[in-house]
Structure 1
Amino acid sequence: MKRLFITYLLFLSLSSCKEFLDIKPHEETIPESAEEFSALLHTHLNDIDYGTSAIILSSSNVATNESACDNLEVALTSEDKSSLKTYIGNIAVSTSSYYSPYQIIRDCNIILGQLKDTESDMAKNVLGTTYALRGVCYYELMRLYCDVYDPLQKSQLGLQLVTTFDMEERPIRSSLEETMTLIEEDLKKALSYNVQEPIWRFTADVVKGYLARFYFWTRQWDSAIYYAGEVIKNHPLVDREGYKAMMTNGYSLKGNMLIKSELISSSSSEQEGAGTYNSLNYRPVSKRFIDTFSDTEKSNDIRYEMNFSALRIATKFIFSGMRSAEMLLIRAESYYHKGSEDLALADINTLRGNRILNYEPLTLSTLPEPIPGTDYITQDVTGAPLTKLMALILTERRKELFLENDRFYELKRNGRPEFWVGVNGIKYTNRKFMYNFAIPIRDTKLIPGLQQNEGYEDYIIN
Structure 2
Amino acid sequence: MRRNIVIALCCTMVFASCDLLDITPKHVVSTEKAFDDVESYRMALNNVYLTLTSSVMNMQTTDYASDDFKNVISGYAASNYYVYNWDYQSQPQPYIWSYQYQLIARENVLIDNYGIVPAENEANQDEIDQIYAQALGLRAWSLFNIVQIYAPHYDGSNGGEEGIPLKVHLELEYLPKSDLEEVYNQIFGDLEKAETLLTESAYSPSSSDKSYEFGLDAVRALRARVALFMGDMETALEASSHFIDTELLDKEDYWMLWEDQFGSANKEILFMTHDLSDTDDAELIDYHEIYENNGVLLSDELVNSFGEDDIRKESSYINANQVPYKYIVPVNERNSQIDRNLHYKHFRLAEQYLIYAEAVLQSDPDEAMRILNVLREKRGAELLTTRPDKLEILKERRRELFCESLRFYDLKRLSSELNLVVERANGSVLTANSPLYVWDVPKEETNSNPYIF
Please tell me the residue identity of whatever aligns with 1:434.
L
The one-character-per-residue Cα deviations of 1:430-452 (angstroms, maximum 9, x if unpaired) are 462121111223433433343x5
Partner of 1:315: 325
Change beyond 3 A, Cα 1:110–1:308:
closer
Secondary structure at the residue paired with 2:244? helix
Within 5 A, what are the aligned runs for 1:306-345? 306=315, 307-317=317-327, 319-336=344-361, 338-345=362-369
Confirm whether residue 145 of structure 1 aligns to residue 150 of structure 2: yes
Task: Measure how far apart 1:224 and its partner are.
Answer: 0.6
Does the CA-based 8 Å contact 1:69-1:88 persist in structure 2? Answer: no
- The range that moved more, 36-45 or 175-184, is 36-45
Identify which of 203, 210, 231 aligns with 1:219: 231
Using CA pairs below 8 Å that are at least 6 residues apart, which structure has the higher relative contact order? 1
Structure 2 residues without counterparts, runs of 5 or longer:
1-16, 120-124, 329-343
Change beyond 3 A, Cα 1:187–1:153:
same
Partner of 1:11: none
The one-character-per-residue Cα deviations of 1:197-250 (angstroms, maximum 9, x if unpaired) are 2367111111111111111111110111111111333x4311112212223457
Confirm whether residue 414 of structure 1 aligns to residue 414 of structure 2: yes
Task: Measure how far apart 1:415 and its partner are.
Answer: 1.5
Identify which of 236, 245, 258 aligns with 1:247: 258
Change beyond 3 A, Cα 1:245–1:273:
farther
Within 5 A, what are the aligned runs for 1:73-92? 73-74=70-71, 83=78, 84-85=80-81, 87-90=84-87
Partner of 2:397: 397
Partner of 2:371: 347
Secondary structure at the residue paired with 1:66? helix
Secondary structure at the residue paired with 1:85? helix
Identity over aligned pairs, percent:
22
Please tell me the residue identity of whatever aligns with 2:187.
I
TM-score by length of 1: 0.76
Secondary structure at the residue paired with 2:292? helix
Structure 1 residues without counterparts, runs of 5 or longer:
1-15, 365-387, 453-462
Partner of 1:259: 271
Partner of 1:28: 29
Please tell me the residue identity of whatever aligns with 1:214.
V
Tell me the distance in 1 between the aligned counterparts of 2:234 and 2:156.
15
Tell me the distance in 1 between the aligned counterparts of 2:137 and 2:178.
21
Partner of 1:136: 141
Tell me the distance in 1 between the aligned counterparts of 2:103 and 2:297.
36
Tell me the distance in 1 between the aligned counterparts of 2:273 and 2:350.
17
Change beyond 3 A, Cα 1:21–1:232:
farther
Partner of 2:122: none
Does the CA-based 8 Å contact 1:239-1:355 persist in structure 2? Answer: yes
Tell me the distance in 2 between the aligned counterparts of 1:449 and 1:271.
38
Task: Measure how far apart 1:23 and its partner are.
Answer: 3.1
Does the CA-based 8 Å contact 2:21-2:175 persist in structure 1? Answer: no
TM-score by length of 2: 0.77
Task: Number of aligned residue pairs: give it.
Answer: 393
Tell me the distance in 1 between the aligned counterparts of 2:193 and 2:109.
17
Identify which of 237, 257, 263 aligns with 2:248: 237
CA RMSD of aligned residues (A): 3.1
Task: Measure how far apart 1:320 and its partner are.
Answer: 3.7
Change beyond 3 A, Cα 1:66–1:46:
same
Tell me the distance in 2 between the aligned counterparts of 1:255 and 1:18.
37
Task: Measure how far apart 1:66 and its partner are.
Answer: 2.6
Within 5 A, what are the aligned runs for 1:18-417? 18-26=19-27, 28-30=29-31, 31-33=34-36, 34-48=38-52, 50-52=53-55, 54=57, 57=58, 62=60, 64-74=61-71, 83=78, 84-85=80-81, 87-90=84-87, 94=93, 96-115=95-114, 116-117=116-117, 120-167=125-172, 169-194=173-198, 196-197=204-205, 198=209, 201-233=213-245, 235-249=246-260, 254-265=266-277, 276-277=288-289, 279-280=291-292, 282-293=295-306, 297-298=307-308, 300-306=309-315, 307-317=317-327, 319-336=344-361, 338-356=362-380, 359-364=382-387, 389-415=389-415, 417=420
